Structure 1
Amino acid sequence: MDARRNWFRGSLLLRGLQGLSLWAQDTRTWATAGLLTSWAGQGRGWTARSWLCRGLDGLALGWAVVLFAVAPYVSTGIIGAILAGGTVLWLVMVLTRPLQLTPITLAVLAFWGLTTVAALCSPVLATSAYGWGLVTLYLVGYALLSRVLQTHRDWVVAVYLLTVAIVGVEGLRQWQDGAVALATWVDQESPLKDTTRIYSYLGNPNLLAAYLLPAVSLGAVAVLVWSRWWARVLAAAVTVLAVVCIGLTYSRGGWLALGLMGLVGLALALCQVSARVRAGLVGGAVGIVALAVAFIPGLQVRLASIFVGRDDSSNNFRITVWDTVWQMVQDYFWLGIGPGNRTFETIYPYYQRAGYNALGAYSVPLETWVELGVVGLVVSLWLVVVVWGWAVGVWLTRPSPERWWAAAALLLTVGLMVQGLFDTVWYRPQVQMLWWLGIALINSLTVPKD
C-alpha cells in the first residue's frame, strides 16, 4: 500500500511538473493552425517565385553569423542595428511562412505581454517605452534564431566558438602583459587588490565571464557530436580556453556559475552511465575541485570573500543597493517601474543612498521584480521552468545529437542564471543574446517534425 501511495504521489507530482512546463511527448499538437498558416497558404505562389523569399534562410544565417561574430567588439548601438535588421527578416518570414507555435514560444509571448503592461503602467512612460523596444528586439532575435538553429545549428555554434577563441586569446595576452584596471572592483584590503583581472574586448571581467560561460557547455557538446576530428579539437581547445579565462576574470559570480554548470552536467551524465563510471565521475569532480581550492590561493581568497558579508567592500556595495531596490519594489510591487536600464536610472536616484550610485539592481531576479513587478517576476520564472522542463524532456527522450544540444543549452541557461543572481551583466546585449540563443536552441528541438 505504501509503495502504491508513493508511486501515485510521485506520478501526480510528475504530471504537475509536466503541466507547469507544458511538456508533451507529441509536439504536433502545438503545430501551426488556422490563422497561423493562412499567410503561407495565400502567398505560396508568389513566394515560390520570389528570389528574396527563397533566400530567406541564407539571409537569416548570415544575420546570425554577423551578430555573434562582431558582438564582443562593437557598441551596443551597432548590435541594436543588427537586431533591427533581424526584425525586418523575421517580419518577412512571418508574412511568407507559417508561424511555429511551441510551448516555449507561448511562455516567451506571455513574458513580452507582461513587459508591455509594465511599460504602459510605468511612471516614466517614455523611458519605459525605450526599454520595451529593446526587449522586443531581443525577443524577435530569439524567434529568428529559433528558425536558423533548426537547419544551421552547427554553423551558429561554430561562429560563436571561433569568436570566443579570439576573445580568449586576448584575455590571455592581458594576463601575461598586464591590463589597465577597468570595472575591476576588488576590496582594497584584499591580498588580490593588485591582481590582473582580464576583460579582453568586453571591458568588464564579470561581463567577460558571462560571455564565456556558454562556450563551456556548447564547446563540450561539440566535442561529442561533431564528426570531423579537427572540429572536435578546436571545440575542445575553446572549451579549455573559456574555463581558464573565466578563472582569470576572478569573477566570483562566474566561478559559482561554472561550478553549478559542472554539477548539473555531472547529474545529467550520471543518469546515462554505469555505477562504476558514476563513481569515477564523482570522484574525479571532487578531486578537481579539492585540488583547485587547495593549491590556488587566489581562488581561496575570492571564494572566502563571499562569506564575509559587508566586510568586503564589493559585497557591501551590492547589499546596500539590494536594500535600496527592495524599497523601490515595495512602492511598485505589482507591475514595477517599467522595463529598461534607463527607467531604473530615472527612478533609483529618488531612493539612492549617498555614495551608492548604481546602474542596476546587481541581481537579475531583483531587477526583474522592480522593473516588471511581482507578476512579471512570476511569469519570468515560469518561462524558465518551461525552458528547463523541455530541455530535460528532450534530454530524456530524444536521440543524439539532439539530446546533447539540449543538455548544452540547459547548462548555458543555468550558468547565466546563477551569475545573474549577483550581477546584471545579463542585460548587456552580448550576454542577453547568448541567453536567447540557449532558449532558441531548446525551442528549435521542440518544433514538430514533418
Structure 2
Amino acid sequence: MNPWQQITLSALPLYRWRGSSYLHRLVGPLQAWRKRSVFMQWADPIGAALLGTVFGLTPFVSSDLAGVLLFACGCYWALLTVSDDRGFDSEQKAVLGSGFTPIHLMVSLYWGVATIAAAMSPVKKLAFTGWSKLTLYVLLFALAARVLRSSRLRSWLISLYLHVALLMSVYGIHQQFFGAEALATWVDPESPNAEVVRVYSFLGNPNLLAGYLLPAIALSVAAIFAWRSWVPKLLAITMTIVNFMCLYYTGSRGGWIGLVVLMLTLLILLLYWWSAALPRFWRIWALPIALGTIAGLFILAVVLIPQLRYRVSSIFAGRGDSSNNFRLNVWTSVVQMIQDYPVLGIGPGDPPFKKIYPLYQRARFSALSAYSILLEVAVETGIIGLFAFLWLLLVTFSQGFVQLKRLRQLGDRDGFWLIGIIGALAAMLGHGLVDTVLYRPAVNTLWWLTIGLIASFYTYQPRLDSPLVES
C-alpha cells in the first residue's frame, strides 16, 4: 500500500473490521424478523421513497418539517441497520460491495469531532441543537449510501431531483420576466445593477437558489449522456439550458464561481472518460482547446453584457464593493473567534455562532454565519474539525475517481452519473468558499446526498494503484 492509498484509505480492507468490531455486532440482531417480514422485502425501495420525499419537499417546506423528514430517514436507517441480513465475512463478498466505506469512516470521524466540540462548547445547549441537526444530515448520508447502491433506485432519485429543480428554475425565470418582490437588499443600492431583478424562486434567497441549482446543472449534463433514448436526452438538454439561465438570473457571484468550478470538473472528467477512444492528437490537445474555447466565450459574454461585466468585475473590487466589504469584515471577526477557540471551536451549528459572534462583530456587520464553509467548520469544530473535514473531502473525491476508473474500464454508463455527482460536489464546495448556503436545508441535503451517492458506488479493490499516477 503506497502513501497515497494510506492517506485516502483507497485499499483499506474494511470487511476485516466488520468481522472483528464489537460495534459492528450491533448490526443485524433482527435478521430473523427481517427475513419473515413482507414489509422489509421492499426495504431499499421504501428507503428511496423516503429520500424522494425529502428532496421533493424540502425546497417548499419549513425547516421544521424538513427536520421531521430527516428524522424519519434516520429512524428508517436505524431499522435497516439492526435488521441487516447481509454478511461480508470474506474478501470475495467485500469486493462485490460493502455497506461501510472509507467515506463512512471519515464522516464518522468528522461527526465524532463535532460531538466532542459540542460537549466542550461554551454554549452547550445551543451546540447540542446544532449537533442534532448535523446528526440528521449524517443519517441522511448513511441512508442514501445504503439504498442507492441500486443503479435503478439511484437513477430514479436523481431524475426526481432534476424534475423538482426544473420546476424551481421555471419559476425563477418567470420572476425574471414578470418581476419578483425583493425580500432583502440583495444588490448595493448605489451600484449600476441596483434595479436588476435577482430571482430566488421558492427559496427566498438568490444565493441559496444558486447553490440549489449547481447540482442540477451538473446532473442534467450527466443525464444527456446517461439517458439512452433521444426524448430523455432532449429533456436533459432542456433542463441544462433552463437551469443555467436561472442560475445566471440569480446574479449570485458565488454561484457563478461554483459554475466555473463545475464546468472545469465536468470537462476534465468527461475527457478522461473518452480519452482511451480518442486519437493521439485529441488526447493531447482536447483539454487546452476546450478550456480556450470556454474562456473565449466567457470573455466575450463579459465584454458584451454590461450587467455581467459589472458583477464579474465586482468580485475583484475588494472593499470597493459593499458585499465584498461585508464578507471581509465578517471573516476578520470569525478569524478572531477561531484564535480564541482554536482546538475544538465553539460547537457545531448556527445557534452557537449567533450567540458568540456578536461579541466579536464589527459595528453594522451582523451575520448569521461565517460566509465561508472552511471558516465555518473551523469556528464550529476548531482546527481538529477542519482537518477531519478536509480529510473527508480528500477521501470522497479520491473514492469518486477510483470508482470512475472502475466504471470506465467496464464501460458502465453509470459513470456519467458519477461524473455529474463529483462535479456537483466540487461546484458546491467552490460556492461554499465564499458563502454559507450549504447550511440551509435545501442545499445541505444535496451536499450530503452527493457524498452518499459517491459512497454508493464503492467497491473494494485491494490492489488499486494510486489515482494520481494513472494515465
Q: State whether TM-score is above 0.5.
A: yes
Distance across 2 between alignment mates of 1:27 and 1:106:
12
Aligned 1:142-181 pairs, distance under 5 A: 142-151=141-150, 152-181=153-182
- Aligned-pair CA distance for 1:30: 6.6
Counterpart mapping for 1:424-435 below 5 A = 424-435=436-447
> Who is 1:423 aligned against?
435
Distance 1:38 1:361 in 2: 40
Give 1:391 shift.
Answer: 1.0
Kept in 1: contact 2:221–2:236 (CA 8 A): yes
Match 2:351 to one of 314, 334, 342: 342
Given candidates 370, 373, 383, the residue that maps to 1:374 is 383
Q: CA deviation at 1:228?
A: 3.3
Structure 1 residue 417 displacement after superposition: 0.6
Q: Does 1:325 align with 2:334?
A: yes
CA distance in 1, matches of 2:436, 2:32: 48
Distance in 1 between the 2:45 and 2:417 partners? 22
CA contact (8 A) 2:432 2:438 kept: yes
| Native 8 Å contact 1:254 1:419 kept in 2 | yes
| RMSD (CA atoms) | 2.0
Q: Matches of 1:158 and 1:36 in 2, distance apart?
A: 36
Deviates more, 1:174-183 or 1:400-409: 400-409
- Deviations 1:34-72, CA, capped at 9 Å, x for gaps: 457656665433211112322322221111111111111
Match of residue 92 from structure 1: 79
Q: Alpha carbons of 1:51 and 1:36: their partners in 2 closer, same or farther (altered >3 Å)? A: farther
1:314 aligns with 2:323: yes
The TM-score, its normalising length taken from structure 1, stands at 0.92
| Matched pairs, number | 435
Residue 18 of structure 1 contacts residue 389 of structure 1 at CA under 8 Å; is this kept in 2? Answer: no
- Does the 8 A contact of 1:402 with 1:445 survive in 2? no
CA distance in 2, matches of 1:338, 1:447: 35
| Counterpart among 282, 295, 300 of residue 291 in structure 2 | 282
Q: 1:248 offset after TM fit, Å?
A: 0.6
Q: Which residue of 1 aligns with 2:51?
A: 64
Question: Cα offset for 1:89?
Answer: 0.4
CA drift of 1:404 comes to 2.1
| 258-267 or 332-341: bigger deviation | 258-267
Matches within 5 A, 1:299-310: 299-310=308-319
Amino acid across the alignment from 1:100: G
Question: Match for residue 137 of structure 1?
Answer: 136
Q: Secondary structure at the match of 2:434?
A: coil
Query: 2:142 is aligned with what amino acid?
Result: A
CA distance change for structure 1 residues 28 and 103 in 2, over 3 Å: closer, same or farther? closer
More deviation, 148-157/118-127: 148-157
Q: 1:173 to 1:336 in 2, by over 3 A?
A: same
Is the Cα–Cα contact under 8 Å of residues 90 and 144 in structure 1 kept in the other structure? yes
Identity %: 39
Map 1:182-201 → 2, pairs under 5 A: 182-201=183-202
The answer for the alignment partner of 1:256 in structure 2 is 257
* Partner residue, 1:383: 392
Say if 1:182 and 1:55 are closer, same or farther in 2 by CA, change over 3 A: same
CA 1:32/1:229 → structure 2, altered by over 3 Å: closer, same or farther?
A: farther
Residues 1:297 and 1:105: Cα distance change in structure 2 (over 3 Å): same
1:370-406 deviation line (CA, Å, top 9, x unaligned):
1100100011000000001111112223232233222
Mapped partners of 1:124, 1:113: distance in 2: 18
SS in 1 for 2:148: helix
TM-aligned CA distance change 1:30 to 1:444, over 3 Å: farther
Residue type at the aligned position of 2:437: V
The answer for the alignment partner of 2:102 in structure 1 is: 103
Letter in 2 for 1:410: I
* Mapped partners of 1:32, 1:334: distance in 2: 31
Q: How far is 1:355 from its partner? A: 1.1
TM superposition score normalised by structure 2: 0.88
5 Å-filtered alignment, 1:389-404, equals 389-399=398-408, 400-404=412-416
Q: Secondary structure at the match of 1:33?
A: helix
Structure 1, residues 291-342: CA drift from partner, whole Å, max 9, x if none? 2222222111001001111111111111111111111111101110001101
The one of 72, 78, 95 aligned to 2:65: 78
Distance (Å, rounded) in 2 between the aligned partners of 1:39 and 1:197: 50
Q: Which residues of 2 match residues 209-228 of structure 1 at below 5 A?
A: 209-228=210-229
Residues 412 and 31 of structure 1: is their aligned pair in 2 closer, same or farther, counting only changes over 3 Å? farther
Q: Distance in 1 between matches of 2:334 and 2:81?
A: 40
Distance across 1 between alignment mates of 2:219 and 2:405 = 18
Distance 2:28 2:448 in 1: 29
Checking the alignment, whether the CA contact within 8 Å between 2:338 and 2:345 is kept in structure 1 is yes
Q: What residue is the counterpart of 1:437 in the other structure?
A: 449
Which range moves more in the overlay, 275-284 or 127-136?
Answer: 275-284
Q: Distance in 1 between matches of 2:307 and 2:292?
A: 24
Cα displacement string for residues 95-147 of structure 1 (whole angstroms, at most 9, x for unaligned residues) = 10158221000000000000001000000000000100000000000000112
**Residues 118 and 371 in structure 1, CA contact (< 8 A), matched pair in contact too:** yes
Preserved CA contact (<8 Å) 2:29 2:82: no
* Conserved? CA contact 1:53–1:96, under 8 Å: no
Answer whether contact 2:120 2:344 (CA < 8 A) is retained: yes
Equivalent residue letter for 2:270: A
Question: Is the contact between residue 73 and residue 143 of structure 2 (CA under 8 Å) also seen in structure 1?
Answer: yes
